[in-house]
Amino acid sequence: MLIGEYYHNLDPKGRITIPSKFREDLTDFVMTKGLDNCLFLYPKNEWIKIENKLKELPMTNKAVRSFVRTFFSGATSSTIDKQGRVIIPQNLRDYAEIKDSSVIIGLSNRAEIWAEENWEKYNNEEGLSYEELAEKMSELGI
């Protein structure tokens, strides 16, 4: 299970160290553009589930086509090297605005990589407290 929050720096070659607790789940994974200017990392088995769900959506819907194009065009299959690092391609670094310091968070079935400044901004500007978010989740029956 992918959980936790870890701070790492990007090296000069565009590599980032994947937290050791994530490495077993992310031996073979797909990295793509996420939401809120972060990157999503899906273990291969989770990626296949997402891919199958997206295949079922109606391609006649313009929003679906746009989302699928963005989601898949930014995707890259990857593995972790012997030192526990992975290269973040330049197009994905640009999208997520990752220059040096970053945060890797675990969200159960996927991980996200954030530029540290964007993660802090997201947490400070989200506008809802943890308690308010929990209340909204309970309204959804969760």
Task: Convert the pLDDT of each residue in 64-95 to its tens digit.
Answer: 999 999 999 999 999 999 999 999 999 999 99
**Please, which residues have CB within 8 angstroms of residue 67's CB and are 6 or more apart in sequence?**
none
Report CA torsion sign: 18, 13, 123, 63: negative
pLDDT in tens, 25-49: 998 999 999 999 999 999 999 999 9
Give the residue-averaged pLDDT of 106-123: 95
Structure confidence at residue 126 (pLDDT): 64
- To the question of pTM greater than 0.85 for the whole model, the response is yes
Q: Does residue 131 register a pLDDT over 90?
A: no
Task: Enumerate domains of the chain plus CATH numbers.
Answer: 2-139 (3.40.1550.20)
